[in-house]
Amino acid sequence: MATTHADHHDDHHDHKPSGFFQRWVLSTNHKDIGTLYLVFALIMFLVGGAMALIIRAELFQPGLQLVDPEFFNQMTTMHALVMIFGAVMPAFVGLANWMVPLMIGAPDMALPRMNNWSFWIMPFAFGLLLLTLFVPGGGPAGGWTLYPPLSLQGGNNVAMTIFAIHMMGVSSIMGAINIIATILNMRAPGMDLLKMPIFVWAWLITAFLLIAVMPVLAGAVTMLLTDKFFLTSFFNAAGGGDPVMFQHIFWFFGHPEVYIMILPAFGVVSEIIPTFARKPLFGYQAMVYATASIAFLSFIVWAHHMFTVGMPMGGELFFMYATMLIAVPTGVKVFNWVSTIWKGSMTFETPMLFALGFVVLFTIGGFSGLMLAIVPADFQYHDTYFVVAHFHYVLVTGAVFSIMAAAYFWLPKWTGHMYNETLGKWHFWLSAISVNVLFFPQHFLGLAGMPRRIPDYNVAFADFNMISTIGGFAFGFSQLLFVYIVWQTARGGQKATAGVWEGAKGLEWTVPSPAPHHTFSTPPVIDDAMLAHGNTVH
């Protein structure tokens, strides 16, 4: 693999700040802040996972076994908030921090100090959110969707939760602004927009989504706050307000939020599959346009989450067809991944296994999403375990699997060491089998009529719940293997080369492993041969 002249320059100027506080708390380095995001996301993944295990333990058998219903509701609410805002989103922001500047040949993010601030808001936001579990009345229990009037019936937790959400929003918006400013202004000469890696494209589009919808969530929860403490009655029917309006505003944020969590995953998988298929990505430009189309469509489908509130037939039809339309660009992506694999010289290292697992299992989640888009069917499926199965296939075997794939793919670049491939494969197979044992039976539970967010259920649902819980614990404990592999790789192991993978292409693979503290201080001179998409005709 060709190297840039910047490597030698960087080798001699790898000055990390000395001292823990200087290096990690005051850091303005994109790699260190990326590491902070990823470590934070891993901790939140374990916290949110522990909450999921409490939920699954309670549901192991019918009847109330371990926790009281109020605490169960707090667990379902907090599990979602922690996993969405604390684990999946920060993990992708961490990946963006680490990889976007390396992929476009930039020396750092455009605004390094704001980058530091974006990260350090997060621990305080989640500290505040988790503290609600210890205040009188406990944490929020009305579901992550915070629908009024239920969400306003909480005790002291309401103000704390809303303030925590505001802080998460500020962090996300600042991170998104930084990513856009970096991609638009800091690309190395020759790194045209349509030569950028797909991961960078996916993040550019995701960042625009974040800026468009996080303020909507902030506005919605601000109105909730004033309803609770200043009696404004935005959503209070007794005061002339409309609780359904909250649902519209929430889902105007909430549906694009789903794509905020999945578009970067598409980007990751689009980097990994060509590497291990040893072929260029099939249909590069189609992938870019498909990502943009999905982002656009995400703004016009929000009401499919609330068909059952009652809306005019025309509205139901519009949102049904608009939702189904998303299958077209998503199908383009799946087709292109499969076409990239086709006749490729494939090997199945752990990142590739997770990426292929993503393609198969995410597609299952996509298909059940299509089922939910059908209005008359949705009246049956709404608020059942079918919905729970659907979005966990999208978010766990979709987003989380892609994060795992990304971690294995780039870990040698981050640490300078190869991970233990045997353990990595064990991690994949344990996760892939257990996650299906966990979530697949939930489709049947939902179709049989088991509602979501309940701690007790009819004995008719006992068998599938027991299977699901066994799968849940197996999946949960399998992730401890991942923690061990990351720890082991960070501490040492076989030295990684700059290129790491035989089929790897792109600027990030031209710098040594581990990537020096400062890279591309002088813009690299790029020739198309070193880029994954450099020879794309456009």
Partner 1 sequence: MRCWLMATRFTEKELPRSPSRERGIKIMSESETIQRQRAAAMRTVWILAGVALLVYFGFIASGVMAR
Nearest CB to partner 1, comparing residues 52 and 191 = 191
- Based on the residue annotation, tell me whether 518 is a catalytic residue of this protein: no
According to DSSP H, which parts of 106-242 are helical? 112-131, 157-185, 198-229
Out of 39, 55, 57, 111, which residue is the one contacting partner 1 (CB under 8 A)?
111
Angle at 139 between CA 136 and CA 145, to 5 degrees: 145
Catalytic residue chosen out of the listed positions 27, 172, 363, 397:
172
- Based on the residue annotation, tell me whether 517 is a catalytic residue of this protein: no
β partners of residue 451? 384
The answer to whether the beta carbons of residues 161 and 255 sit under 8 Å apart is: no
Out of 117, 123, 155, 242, which residue is the one contacting partner 1 (CB under 8 A)?
242
Catalytic residue chosen out of the listed positions 144, 251, 385, 509:
144
Site string for partner 1, 208-227 (x = CB under 8 A): ---xx-xxx-xxx-xx----
Q: Is the N-terminal amide bond of 514 cis, ω within 30° of 0?
A: yes
Token pair for 45: 């993944």
Nearest CB to partner 1, comparing residues 187 and 390 = 187
Catalytic residue chosen out of the listed positions 30, 31, 79, 382:
79
Catalytic residue chosen out of the listed positions 166, 333, 390, 427:
333
How far is 523 from 375, CA to CA, in rounded Å?
53
Nearest CB to partner 1, comparing residues 51 and 220 = 220
β partners of residue 417? 495
| Total residues interacting with partner 1, rule: CB under 8 A | 42
Which run of H or of E encompasses 317?
Answer: helix 313-325
Angle at 354 between CA 349 and CA 358, to 5 degrees: 145
Residue type present at position 159: A
- As measured in angstroms, the least distance from the Cβ of 381 to partner 1 is 30
How far is 256 from 229, CA to CA, in rounded Å?
29
CA 128, 133, 136, 137 dihedral sign is: positive
- Based on the residue annotation, tell me whether 233 is a catalytic residue of this protein: no
From first CA to last CA, the distance across the chain in angstroms is 25
- Residue 200 interacts with partner 1 (CB under 8 A)? no
Site string for partner 1, 309-338 (x = CB under 8 A): ------------------------------
Please give the residues from 66 up to 105 whose contact with partner 1 meets the rule CB under 8 A. none
Site string for partner 1, 158-197 (x = CB under 8 A): ---------------x--xxx-xxx-xxxxxx-xxxx---
How far is 115 from 338, CA to CA, in rounded Å?
36
Nearest CB to partner 1, comparing residues 194 and 317 = 194
C-alpha dist (Å) from residue 426 to 159, 193, 275: 44, 38, 21
Instruction: By CB under 8 A, name the binding residues for partner 1.
Output: 110-111, 114, 173, 176-178, 180-182, 184-189, 191-194, 211-212, 214-216, 218-220, 222-223, 232-234, 240-242, 245, 249, 522-523, 525, 538
Question: Which residues form the catalytic set?
Answer: 79, 108, 144, 171-172, 255, 257, 259, 270, 304-305, 330, 333, 452
